[in-house]
Amino acid sequence: MPIYFDNAATSHPKPKGVAEAMLKALTEFNANPGRSGHASALAAARQVLRCRERLATLLGAEDAMSVVHCFNCTDALNLAIKGTLRAGDHVIATQLEHNSVLRVLGTLSARRRIDVTLVPPRPDGFVDPDDIRVAVTDKTALIVCTHASNVTGAIQPVAAVGRLARALGIRYLIDGAQALGAMPVNVNALSCDLYAFPGHKSLLGPQGTGGLYIAPGVTLMPQREGGTGTESLNPVQPAEPPERYEAGTVNLPGIAGLEAGCAYVEARLSTIMMHERELTAALYEGLVKMPGVTVYSPDQESGRAGIVCFNVGDLTSAQVADALNGRGIAVRGGLHCAPGAHRFLGTVERGAVRASVGHANTFDEVDQFLAAVAEIMHR
């Protein structure tokens, strides 16, 4: 079987229960949740609620109604950013952000609606909260920070940034795409108002799922309007969450699969985290010892998510990724939809190779991977 080291893009394999839950949703209670009062519709609604409650537990959120189902993390980030910002606002984000943040901000900026400041990381790859403090103006309405870089895996000081935002009364959004399900998350301890996440990465759910935590007292402008199954005479979206943000039919099979993935993670989070940390350490240590290989991920084990980013000799990242693919190893080369991170690394021209581990990877696979990289280096 191929060695799959592309879990930062989407996790594989999924636990067996994920597909089983999706099939059950399609065959046993295949109805529209919240739209009818018959038994199947009620069973579907209960499934949606169970997933919401499971997500709230993983987020450390006290109220499950603060978790909104979205189509993916990008959808959640669009809701959080566009639902917050108004003409003339100023937003601070980091240079490490994914295009799911940068393109939203770039579009709003191009329309001359907002001003954007991108704070670069320090030389060690971590953003300094003091640099964010310096960038604050009297028009700053939002601070956005990735929890962990999807390029280098560097875990950012999101709690310290949260304390700063809370002290200044500025709304704070965390992009948890590479964090939730891979490490403990507590939205209260992080002092965040908004936390966006995908379902298909470390939560081990299917693609087309994700969500947004919205803290109590935080109201966003909805980005979609339509049917909710409630307040049908109301000409505008209902005021109460989560219906305020969930117009249209939700992805019931996907949500069923996501709940199964979340249940698997919740029962094993500490074990998964330690296993992935040890695998990542083995990858990192093996690569840094190879002459001619440049590793961009942080050297401290506690500061990395399950990602090691590197280049081999003078080869492009595409050449290395293709050579590994030919040896039955799946990684990702390129810019990883995070151009600012590659400008920081100096890898815009050739990109970088990203190896990202998951719950099912093994140390034998790490050994095979390192042997393949050494072979490519000396071919």
Q: Is 171 exposed, middle or buried (0-12, 13-18, 19+ CB in 10 A)?
A: buried
Fold designation for 16-263: Aspartate Aminotransferase; domain 2 (3.40.640)
Distant-in-sequence contacts of 322-326, Cβ < 8 A, 24+ apart: 323/372, 323/376, 323/379, 324/353, 324/369, 324/372, 324/373, 324/376
What are the tens digits of pLDDT across the range 49-104? 999 999 999 999 999 999 999 999 999 999 999 999 999 999 999 999 999 999 99
Q: Hey, where are the domains in the chain?
A: 3-12+269-377, 16-263
| CB contact at 8 A, 245 and 80 | no
Q: Quick one: CA dihedral 343, 152, 147, 210, positive or negative?
A: positive
Task: Tell me, yes or no, if the two domains 3-12+269-377 and 16-263 fold the same way.
Answer: no
Residue whose entry in the numeric block shows the structure tokens 């500490």 = 270
What are the tens digits of pLDDT across the range 262-282? 999 999 999 999 999 999 999
**Tens-digit pLDDT string for the chain (379 aa):** 799 999 999 999 999 999 999 999 999 999 999 888 899 999 999 999 999 999 999 999 999 999 999 999 999 999 999 999 999 999 999 999 999 999 999 999 999 889 999 999 999 999 999 999 999 999 999 999 999 999 999 999 999 999 999 999 999 999 999 999 999 999 999 999 999 999 999 999 999 999 999 999 999 999 999 988 888 888 888 888 999 999 999 999 999 999 999 999 999 999 999 999 999 999 999 999 999 999 999 999 999 999 999 999 999 999 999 999 999 999 999 999 999 999 999 999 999 999 999 999 999 999 999 999 999 988 7
Q: What SS3 class is residue 88?
A: coil
N- to C-terminal Cα distance for the chain?
A: 24
Side-chain-side CA neighbours of residue 32 (13 Å) = 8
d(CA 43, CA 275): 36
What is the reported pTM? 0.97
Task: Retrieve residue 323's tokens.
Answer: 């050579």
The CATH class given to the 3-12+269-377 domain equals alpha beta
Neighbouring-strand partners of residue 195? 174, 213
